Amino acid sequence: MKKAIYQLTATLCFFTRLPFWRLVQVPKEYYKRVVPYWPFAGWVTGSLMALTCIATSCFPIHISVILALAVRCLATGALHEDGYADFCDGFGGGYNRQKILSIMKDSHIGTYGVLGLILYFALQISTMSHVLGSVNNRLTLFLLIVVADSTCKFISSTIVHVLPYARTEETSKNKLVYATSTIGEIVTGLITAALPIALIGICFPDSGWLYPIGIAVLAASISAALLFYYMKKKIQGYTGDCCGATFIITEAVFYLALLSDLSNLPLFSR
């Protein structure tokens, strides 16, 4: 029980800036095992986004989405967006493994990073606005945002199973290398990601959302697999920036795939 508390607290401390560190003093070694519990952090950040959308429902939906994304950036310290920008700079401007890793370690943002963030937020705001604008009750909206956040974080967490770490512990930004997950940790992450989907099926069995969500999960998984292959080819592994970039890209693909299949929903076709 104590071990689980340490791991969950380490995950929330690592992936958010919320003051969970005040609750429990976590030994450093538990921060090496935070990736399998990443979907649990998705419950927190997804809930914050959903509550923001609900609290600002008096505004047009695209304003609510912008505010929700801003709240998540504040809650995480823009951790994933920073990794995604470094990823764009490194893989966009680097011509070999050494150069890519060197650029990604540089804290300054470049042209590729700026363009990547602009394109990501433009796409994300547009797709989320269309998808969430089709939701006809607050509970579905809440669960849908949590599903996207936690599911894509689970998909991204699989990077530690399929790729080696591309740096050494001494040269990494956080001075730690993520440990490979145990079977129990993988199952825990999967259950954490699947539970919000199951709740949609239980609470709204006739809503028609499960099929589009399934297509979105498949699309996000395929995009992650392609990213892993690209990382393996270019830098023979992954870095922390690659984890953040994978989440950002798979979540964008998730909403894009969800939007492409909304015409099958009874509530959308009326």
pLDDT higher than threshold 70 for residue 171: no
How many residues can be counted in the chain? 270
> What single letter denotes the amino acid at residue 145?
I
Most confident range (mean pLDDT) of 2-6, 24-28, 108-112 is 108-112
- Distance separating the N- and C-terminal Cα atoms of the chain: 49
User: By C-alpha distance, which of 23, 133, 38, 92 is closest to 230?
Assistant: 92
Cβ contact 70:137 at 8 Å: no
For the chain, which residues make up each domain, given as ranges? 2-265
pLDDT score recorded for residue 270: 35
Least confident of 2-6, 97-101, 213-217: 2-6
Q: What is the mean pLDDT of the chain?
A: 90
CA 172 to chain centre: 21
Please compute the mean of the pLDDT values over residues 28-55 and round it to a whole number.
92
Per-residue confidence at 175, pLDDT binned at 50, 70, 90? Answer: low
pTM summary value: 0.91
Cβ contact 187:43 at 8 Å: no
Cβ contact 147:132 at 8 Å: no
DSSP state of 20: G
pLDDT higher than threshold 60 for residue 269: no
Please compute the mean of the pLDDT values over residues 109-124 and round it to a whole number.
96
Q: Which residues of 180-196 are buried (b: 16+ CB within 10 A; e: fewer)?
A: ebeeebbebbbebbbeb
pLDDT score recorded for residue 169: 64
